[in-house]
Structure 1
Amino acid sequence: MDEKTLKTLEFPKVLERLAAYAAFSYSAALARELRPTTDRQEVLERQARTTEARHLLSVHDEIGVGGARDVRPQVELARRRGVLEAPDLLEIKNTLIAARELARSVERQEAPYPQLQAISARLAPPPGVVDAISQSISDRGEVLDSASPKLAAIRRELKTAHERLLSRLERMVNDADTAPMLQENLITQRNGRYVIPLRAEFKGRIRAIIHDQSSSGATLFVEPLATVELNNQWHELQLAERDEERRILAELTSRIGLHAEAIQQVVDALAEFDLALMCAKYADDLDACEPVLEPFREQENHPGSTLLLYQARHPLLDPQKVVAIDVDLFEKTFAVVITGPNTGGKTVTLKTVGLLVLMAQSGLHIPAQSGSKLSVFENLFADIGDEQSIEQSLSTFSGHITNIIRVLEAADQRSLVLFDELGAGTDPQEGAALARAILQHLVRRRITCMVATHYPELKAYAHGAPGVVNASMEFDVKTLRPTYHLNIGLPGRSNALLIAQRLGMPGDILKAARTVIDPDELRAEDLLDEIHHQRDRARQARAEADESRREAEKIRAELANRLEHIEDERLSILEKARQQAQNEIAALNREVEDARRALSRTRQPVEDIRELQDKVEKLEAETTQPVERRRTLKTPEARPLRAGDKVHVRSLGMDGKVAAIFDSEVEVQLGSLRVRARIADLQRPGEVEKPAPEPEKKRASGPSAAPENVFYPSPGMELDLRGQRGEDALEELDRYLEKAYLAGLPFVRIIHGKGTGRLKELVRKALRRAEHVKSWMVATEPEGGDGVTVAHMVTE
């Protein structure tokens, strides 16, 4: 990829922002060295790695490479047979431990992460290195006594010699004859040897070696001859300790050197893993998405490229202020001519497109809406900004032309070319002719390009040339300010006369100016004005229609909700009346039966009673008919879900925003968490939830009989059975599994505790037989271990 273009598009600034998420210096360096790749397969792998990392962070936000350091210099020194200091060895140990913990964290994840797992497979530290360092070096970076028996023995002797030396000196300091000759009753050190402060006037009164004196000369720091031998012994043991520590450090360093390649591989893998996490965190902060990477297709008179960006945002601008743009090169279009006023956003548009292509090919998710599509370009060239060069004595125009010549020589059909203010900086007529010729050259060679210009000649060329389309940056003539919106398909208007008129330019001057302009150009500008005016009116009418439709849908939903409540009340009243009638009929049946028995005992005819009994049975049959729900007002069919729509995830009871849409699932952003949910599990704001029918009416037989498009409330993700009797617990478990299946929960946690193990065995035996349970497993230790069973539910 062209390095000059990377700087022109400010790609290094994007990498600096990425590097800010690094956990240690090596991964930060990898981020700054990140470059776009032209291999589509590699780009797909990089994008998949970022997607996996985002998903992993959403379910395990604490995962990372904490404790890791860039220990490559230390490892290289060990390889060259140098000797590492204890803090260096401690850094190597902590880095290897961080790698081991990270690998274990990835292994414990239930979801597959093939890209990240391939990296974590290289995180295993060489055997014995961590244990050897832990046995010899403390967490404060000191050599431990346990490093070797000899060191332990030396330190014991050293402690004894030190105590003996200080004891002798303390007796001298506290001696009644010696104390008056001392400046202070203390013991200090000079040149690594213990001394006492003797007053200068008593020099020679104590047989001693003078090591130092105070700045005033009033105090001499002397070592009594009686302690010289003790000082010597203590110093010799210190040297022995130093030599043994050096030997231990050299031995540990030698072991590091033997495993230098393996440790280097671990550090590389840590940096790669951290880079993936950095890309994920940056993508989350940008609210970015994974682009769809389309291959170049075979197409006549077209390079076969794809450039489709929805709601694209410049990654370096304030997300609260940046205006999103749509860039949609139609199936037969590969060149865009953008016109519009100065400071209208043409340059930002070109930089946005270029930066998003570079980010996508570097493995970064792009700040655009889900569904954006890009080709993997083999090169990207940009001529944007001031190309003036004092060193080469080039003017701005000359600098641009020099760069353009370089681009034209290197670009091909697999390249993307971005030119800003093509042909500017020279005579307008010659500049326009040159700009048109350059654009024709690019189109003839079928090179995907976007060109920003002021020249009307390029608008006319783009209107008639196959594969080329006009585009413009909007300008609000009422406020005299740009809106920064990009319109594909419409050329920009020349607003100079209109702006001058609104600013108060005299009418005779404006009239004189219009007489100079070519009438054909005036007619074209008037036609453009009319097109833009009609488009604005159509936009306004559509916005009003959309608002009216939303209001109508809201009112319709409210009416449907009210009718549902009215129907519920009607059904409730009729059900109570039916129940009361059934009770009265039951009482009447009992009275008829009593009368029949009385007549039978007196041997009286019972024909009249039988006739009455038939009427009662007829009434009973009528009252047993269920009350049917009347058909209420239908709610209108909702439009298809789009990225950015607000939804409620029923099974989780949480509100979120649609981030991406797949065939039968939707990725929803719930705060910092991203989850996938079935479309049937989502509810839009304002939708009416239907009450769930009784359990026996919900299904016919088997798990597959559960009705679709009906909302069943979630019973929660876990059931606590601790302290319950076996039969009661199994009944509650059966009811809970039924509700969890109908609510569409993917898995549930059954808390039964450990105890005697009786309840645990009953629960797991029941789970084996349960028709709604696909499989079960013992929970991990952080989740409760053997006291909790995780059951994976049948979801289809």
Structure 2
Amino acid sequence: MRFFPESTLLQLEFDKVKDLLAAHARTELGKARCHDLRIHTKKEFIDLELSQTAEYKMILDSGQYFPNDFTLAIQKELKLLAIPGSSLSGEQFLMIRRLSDSASQIFRWFDAEKRNMYPGMAKVIDNLYDEKNIREMIDEVLDDIGQVRDHASEELASIRSSLYRKRNELRKLFDRIVAKLRKQGYLADTEESFMNGRRVLAVFAEQKRMVKGVMHAESDSRRTSFIEPEETTELNNDIFSLEHEESREVYRILRNLTQSLSVYAPLLQSYYRMNGDFDFIRAKARLAIDIGASHPMVIDQAHIELQEARHPLLLLFNAKTGKPTIPVNLKLDAQNRILVISGPNAGGKTVTLKTVGLLQLMMQSGLLVSAGADSRMGIFKQLMIHIGDTQSLEFELSTYSSHLKNMKHFLEHANGKTLFFIDELGSGSDPNLGGAFAEVILEELARKHAFGIVTTHYLNLKVMAQKVPGIINGAMQFDEQNLLPLYKLQVGKPGSSYTFSIAERIGLDKRLINR
């Protein structure tokens, strides 16, 4: 989809919708997809994404469990797995196993019945399969906490068996030495400790010459010396050597496992993307629940038919304060393509315009919309917007010059697949001249079969809308008795600015009003 100007998405607050969406995502890939939300122009893509979101929302609404609980970020581990000669740690293999297990649960969830019930979501797992061998290979080598099992190799089993015997010998010998020195009163209260991986005695400093061995360190107070008894030195050396052999063998086993599993690296990458896809769909479903969204009917032509449509951000804001959000109902089709909305300031004209624009963006990006399920929405390939004061200091353009510059772009690029929004068309100039230009611009946009919404106070545009084919009037309703806006759009007739009524309401002198 093409946009003009570049700030279109920002002006329609699409960035805020993406932020709300990303807040529901639990994975790095899911959040990235939320922030990089694509706006489609092909019906098949839009239909698929809307169906997936609606199906996941159905799962959440019914209280069912869907097993996409894997939230770890393991892109680095999956990259390493595919690099020849690399080696993953036991902890990293456990994360990969969890990914494989999560994928397996998802595949099992999609039995024949659920594939029929949720065909959109089932497309995510098309061409994927559960490879049990991944988990079996990891389980054969590692235990539940990621430690390499003794039987992972004959060499490791032998080393660990020798280590077990040597450590037992050391423990018995050391216990005898401790008991002997304790009786002699040479040991401090702590009696023993570990220094550099070796078991040492905690000896009173004044008695250190009475104990033969290697002194490793002293306490900060220098009152205690840590000595490795000479009787245990050989055993400690044997254990140190065996531990080094064990580390080397563990590394070799993990490296071999990495190499063996590397053939599944592409499949595991697919599992990871699948998990991110389901997280993204879940986030869209969660947002849909937040804003009471529905799945509109999508038609492959320029068309807007919104029922009970509400601005999603305004809806969430009003919900916090307990205020109602007034819905919008409008229809733009081949016969009535352009809606001219008039009415008092702060009556809801711009909000109506932004509601339609934002919901169109949401629908074409696969998000359910905060409108009735009987809404029908078409597809546009170009969206153009002119809202508020768009002065360009860089080009020293006045508000009206900037306005005309934008209108020039609209007229040069508009076509039957364009959706445009213009707030206060023709404003910023002499009412007669500005109104005349606005009339020509609107007539030309109608001739190009573009769809759009225009807000105005100009009487000539209201008159024009009743005469030119393809253009219709709309009015924001106003409570004349209480002089308050009702924020309701009424299509088919023009609105008043209620200039005199509002002047009277704020207490302007009646003599001045009568003059």
- Calculate the TM-score normalised by the size of structure 1: 0.59
Q: 1:311 offset after TM fit, Å?
A: 0.3
Which stretch shows the higher mean deviation, 464-473 or 161-170? 161-170
Correspondences of 1:555-634 after superposition (within 5 Å)? none
Q: Secondary structure in 2 aligned to 1:369? A: coil
Equivalent position of 1:164 in the other structure = 169
Unaligned runs of at least 5 residues, structure 1 = 297-304, 513-796
Relative to 1, partners in 2 of residues 1:482 and 1:424: Cα closer, same or farther, differing over 3 Å?
same
Partners of 1:342 and 1:160 in 2: how far apart?
Answer: 89
Q: 1:415 offset after TM fit, Å?
A: 1.3
The answer to whether 1:481 aligns with 2:484 is yes
- Residues 191 and 203 of structure 2 are in contact (CA less than 8 Å); yes or no, is this contact kept in structure 1? no
The answer to whether 1:462 aligns with 2:465 is yes
Partners of 2:118 and 2:507 in 1: how far apart?
Answer: 65
- Residues 68 and 96 of structure 1 are in contact (CA less than 8 Å); yes or no, is this contact kept in structure 2? no
Equivalent position of 2:152 in the other structure = 147
- Residues 9 and 15 of structure 2 are in contact (CA less than 8 Å); yes or no, is this contact kept in structure 1? yes
Equivalent position of 1:198 in the other structure = 203
Partners of 1:395 and 1:178 in 2: how far apart?
Answer: 99
Q: Indicate which of 259, 263, 269 corresponds to 2:268.
A: 263
Partners of 2:42 and 2:201 in 1: how far apart?
Answer: 76
Q: Indicate which of 109, 113, 118 corresponds to 1:109.
A: 113
1:394-435: CA deviation from partner (whole Å, max 9, x where unpaired): 665565555554444443221111122333445545543443
Q: 1:275 offset after TM fit, Å?
A: 2.9
Q: 1:59 offset after TM fit, Å?
A: 5.3
Q: Indicate which of 361, 364, 369 corresponds to 1:366.
A: 369
Partners of 1:364 and 1:458 in 2: how far apart?
Answer: 35
- Calculate the TM-score normalised by the size of structure 2: 0.89
Relative to 1, partners in 2 of residues 1:56 and 1:122: Cα closer, same or farther, differing over 3 Å?
farther
Q: Indicate which of 184, 204, 207 corresponds to 2:212.
A: 207
Partners of 1:404 and 1:200 in 2: how far apart?
Answer: 92
Which stretch shows the higher mean deviation, 71-80 or 12-21? 12-21
Q: 1:308 offset after TM fit, Å?
A: 0.6
Equivalent position of 1:86 in the other structure = 90
- Residues 125 and 266 of structure 1 are in contact (CA less than 8 Å); yes or no, is this contact kept in structure 2? no
Partners of 2:405 and 2:229 in 1: how far apart?
Answer: 85
Equivalent position of 1:239 in the other structure = 244
Q: Secondary structure in 2 aligned to 1:183? A: strand
Equivalent position of 1:223 in the other structure = 228
Partners of 1:39 and 1:87 in 2: how far apart?
Answer: 44
RMSD of aligned alpha carbons? 2.6
Equivalent position of 1:121 in the other structure = 126
Relative to 1, partners in 2 of residues 1:254 and 1:423: Cα closer, same or farther, differing over 3 Å?
farther
Q: Which amino acid aligns with 1:225?
A: E
Partners of 1:211 and 1:408 in 2: how far apart?
Answer: 86
Q: 1:462 offset after TM fit, Å?
A: 2.0
Q: Secondary structure in 1 aligned to 2:79? A: helix
The answer to whether 1:346 aligns with 2:343 is no
1:754-775: CA deviation from partner (whole Å, max 9, x where unpaired): xxxxxxxxxxxxxxxxxxxxxx
The answer to whether 1:134 aligns with 2:139 is yes
Q: Secondary structure in 1 aligned to 2:191? A: coil
Q: 1:108 offset after TM fit, Å?
A: 4.9
Correspondences of 1:651-662 after superposition (within 5 Å)? none
The answer to whether 1:329 aligns with 2:332 is yes
Q: Secondary structure in 2 aligned to 1:175? A: helix
1:106-165: CA deviation from partner (whole Å, max 9, x where unpaired): 115354433322322344233511111122223323333343333233223223322332
How many residues in Structure 1 have an aligned counterpart in Structure 2? Answer: 504
- Residues 181 and 187 of structure 2 are in contact (CA less than 8 Å); yes or no, is this contact kept in structure 1? no
Relative to 1, partners in 2 of residues 1:397 and 1:160: Cα closer, same or farther, differing over 3 Å?
farther
- Residues 332 and 451 of structure 2 are in contact (CA less than 8 Å); yes or no, is this contact kept in structure 1? no
1:526-571: CA deviation from partner (whole Å, max 9, x where unpaired): xxxxxxxxxxxxxxxxxxxxxxxxxxxxxxxxxxxxxxxxxxxxxx
- Residues 19 and 32 of structure 1 are in contact (CA less than 8 Å); yes or no, is this contact kept in structure 2? yes
The answer to whether 1:318 aligns with 2:335 is no
Q: Secondary structure in 1 aligned to 2:464? A: helix
The answer to whether 1:67 aligns with 2:70 is yes
Q: Which amino acid aligns with 2:211?
A: I
Equivalent position of 1:453 in the other structure = 456
Relative to 1, partners in 2 of residues 1:230 and 1:432: Cα closer, same or farther, differing over 3 Å?
farther
- Residues 414 and 448 of structure 2 are in contact (CA less than 8 Å); yes or no, is this contact kept in structure 1? no
Q: Indicate which of 102, 111, 133 corresponds to 1:98.
A: 102
Q: 1:94 offset after TM fit, Å?
A: 0.9
Partners of 2:220 and 2:402 in 1: how far apart?
Answer: 70
Partners of 2:407 and 2:184 in 1: how far apart?
Answer: 92
Q: Secondary structure in 2 aligned to 1:95? A: helix
- Residues 84 and 249 of structure 1 are in contact (CA less than 8 Å); yes or no, is this contact kept in structure 2? yes
Q: Which amino acid aligns with 2:221?
A: S
The answer to whether 1:34 aligns with 2:34 is no
Q: 1:101 offset after TM fit, Å?
A: 1.1
Relative to 1, partners in 2 of residues 1:378 and 1:152: Cα closer, same or farther, differing over 3 Å?
same
Larger Rg: 1
Partners of 1:394 and 1:494 in 2: how far apart?
Answer: 29
Report sequence identity in percent: 34
Equivalent position of 2:16 in the other structure = 13
